[in-house]
């Protein structure tokens, strides 16, 4: 009897652990359910799921940028991106570059400075323009001291080889969740930007992965950068289809700076 009790409680504990693990994991195949995924820090099923905003948020990203209207009143963007020896991170969902702790690079939106924290790739693009989806999309994530987030999106097309992108591919660990620190590899961040940097789409949106938090300012450059077909294939060997589907605009307008 004692044995059975121990066995049962162990069995229940195992089941409980499994259910927690399943609840924390999210995948791109499962994205319609992100609004119902439980946060791993909670031991009981909450009444309101913490990722609910993925499902019920009204300012979600990405979106279709086709309905933009040109505005002359928008801020200028200034890129103060410097070279860095970053960490290379396989997040389990994307190829990511984490800038070093003392990195000084930032994006200026008008006079407002947003420090660059990390950049990562999606395949294919998350933002679309009408029926056009791009082969990939690069996100530069900037976080201000007060927590305000600005993401710069750069759409990727296939064409010429990109040497900075190659350095990223060659240094990113293939093991999911693995971080390569102290790489001692210099990366020229500016070389990941297109030539034309003064035209962009902008709107208020969200993180495109759980918890899908809103209040994120989006800037997507109209000009693109190129990577080769071989490099695109290499990116896909890490993650393919790691893109959230387009979300409803609801009451938002997309402005385009010319």
Question: What burial letters (b/e) apply to 187-219, b meaning 16+ CB within 10 Å?
Answer: bebeebbbeebeebbbbebbbbbbbbebebbbb
Q: How far apart are CA 61 and CA 77, in angstroms?
A: 21
Least separation in angstroms between CB 145 and Zn ion? 21
Q: How far apart are CA 202 and CA 256, in angstroms?
A: 6
Judged by beta carbon, residue 60 or residue 71, the one nearer Zn ion is 60
Least separation in angstroms between CB 143 and Zn ion? 13
Q: Give the active site residue among 10, 40, 93, 142.
A: 93
Interface pattern 134-153 for Zn ion (x via CB under 5 A): -----x--------------
Establish if 244 lies at the interface with Zn ion (CB under 5 A): no
Size of the site for Zn ion (CB under 5 A): 1
Least separation in angstroms between CB 126 and Zn ion? 7
Identify whether 93 is a catalytic site residue. Answer: yes
Residue showing the smallest CB distance to Zn ion in the complex: 139
Token pair belonging to 224: 């693109």
Task: Give residues 100-139 in contact with Zn ion (rule: CB under 5 A).
Answer: 139
Do the beta carbons of residue 19 and residue 42 sit within 8 Å?
no
Which residues lie closer than 8 Å to 25 by C-beta, 6 or more apart?
Answer: none
Catalytic (active-site) positions = 93
What residues make contact with Zn ion under the rule CB under 5 A?
Answer: 139
């Amino acid at each position: 009897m004692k044995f059975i009790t121990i066995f049962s409680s162990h069995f229940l504990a195992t089941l409980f652990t499994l259910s927690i693990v399943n609840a924390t994991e999210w995948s791109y195949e499962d994205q319609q359910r992100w609004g119902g995924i439980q946060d791993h820090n909670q031991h009981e099923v909450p009444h309101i799921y913490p990722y609910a905003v993925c499902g019920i948020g009204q300012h979600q990203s990405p979106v279709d940028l086709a309905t933009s209207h040109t505005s002359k009143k928008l801020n200028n963007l200034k890129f103060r991106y410097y070279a860095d020896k970053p960490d290379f991170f396989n997040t389990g969902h994307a190829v990511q570059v984490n800038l070093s702790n003392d990195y000084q690079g930032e994006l200026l939106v008008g006079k407002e400075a947003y420090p660059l924290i990390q950049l990562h790739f999606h395949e294919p693009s998350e933002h679309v323009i009408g029926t056009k989806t791009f082969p990939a999309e690069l996100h530069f994530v900037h976080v201000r001291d007060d927590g305000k987030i600005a993401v710069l999106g750069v759409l990727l097309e296939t064409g010429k080889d990109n040497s900075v992108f190659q350095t990223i591919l060659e240094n990113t660990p293939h093991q999911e969740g693995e971080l390569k620190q102290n790489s001692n590899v210099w990366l020229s961040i500016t070389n990941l930007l297109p030539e034309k940097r003064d035209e962009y789409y902008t709107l208020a949106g969200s993180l495109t992965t759980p918890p899908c938090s809103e209040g994120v300012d989006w800037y997507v450059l109209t000009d693109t950068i190129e990577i080769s077909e071989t490099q695109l294939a290499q990116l896909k060997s890490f993650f393919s289809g790691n893109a959230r589907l387009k979300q409803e605009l609801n009451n938002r307008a997309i402005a385009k700076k010319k």
